[in-house]
Structure 1
Amino acid sequence: MDIALLTLNDFDTLINNVFTIRISDEVQLEAELIELTKLNNYSPLERNPFSIVFRTEQKNEYYEQGIFIVVHPEKGDLQLFLSPLGFDDVGMKYEAVFS
């Protein structure tokens, strides 16, 4: 998938799917896609901005924001900038924003 061409619709059928976030060669986290949000269009680009949120089962630790490989078994690898959002009752949430 070419990140520049992705839209919110590309993720509609992937909600509640499990992805793998490759933090490093040694660390890989399972993460569920739990949220899709359409954002206000503040840019001249044709694509409407949106965000997606993944949740891991991490309870006490998290990884700083950065670029990670997010893998879906059918859609392949995406290189995404993920930011930690905080913990909920299940685990840590990470967000990717597409502007």
Structure 2
Amino acid sequence: MDIALLTLNDFTAYLNQAFKIRISDEIQLDAELIELTKLNNYSPLERNPFSIILRTEQKNEYYEQGIFTVEHPEKGYLDIFLTPLGFDSVGMKYEAVFS
């Protein structure tokens, strides 16, 4: 799937579902899609900007921002830029912004 064509609606059905974040060939993190947010549109592009937040069960460590492969059994594979947001009571949250 072309990442430039993704919209918020492409992720709605997957809210609260399990994903995997592939950090490297050796490291995969179990994650859950916990939040979808429509963002203000300041761009001339047709797509309305949005963000998604994935949460892992990491308690103390996290990975720096970068492009990682995010996998879902139905959605397939997406290479997206993830930024660590911080820990909550469950684990580490990572955000991807699509503008």
TM-score (norm 2): 0.99
Misfit runs of 4+, over 4 Å: none
CA–CA separation in structure 1 for the residues paired with 2:77 and 2:22: 10
- Listed as ranges, the matches of 1:73-88 within 5 Å are 73-88=73-88
Alignment match, 1:6: 6
- Tell me how far 1:2 sits from its aligned partner: 1.4
SS in structure 2 at match of 1:62: coil
Helix, strand or coil at the partner of 2:96: strand
Number of paired residues? 99
Q: Which residue of 2 aligns with 1:69?
A: 69
Unmatched 5+ stretches in structure 2:
none
Q: What's 1:39 paired with?
A: 39
Within 2, Cα distance between the matches of 1:18 and 1:81?
18
CA distance in 2, matches of 1:52, 1:26: 25
**2:59 counterpart residue number:** 59
Question: How many angstroms apart in 2 are the aligned matches of 1:55 and 1:75?
Answer: 17
2:25 aligns with: 25
Question: Which amino acid in 1 is paired with 2:30?
Answer: E
Distance in 1 (alpha carbons) for counterparts of 2:22 and 2:10: 21
Question: Residue 69 of structure 2: SS of its match in structure 1?
Answer: strand
TM-score normalized with structure 1 length: 0.99
**C-alpha deviation, 1:31, in angstroms:** 0.4
Give how far 1:68 is off.
0.2
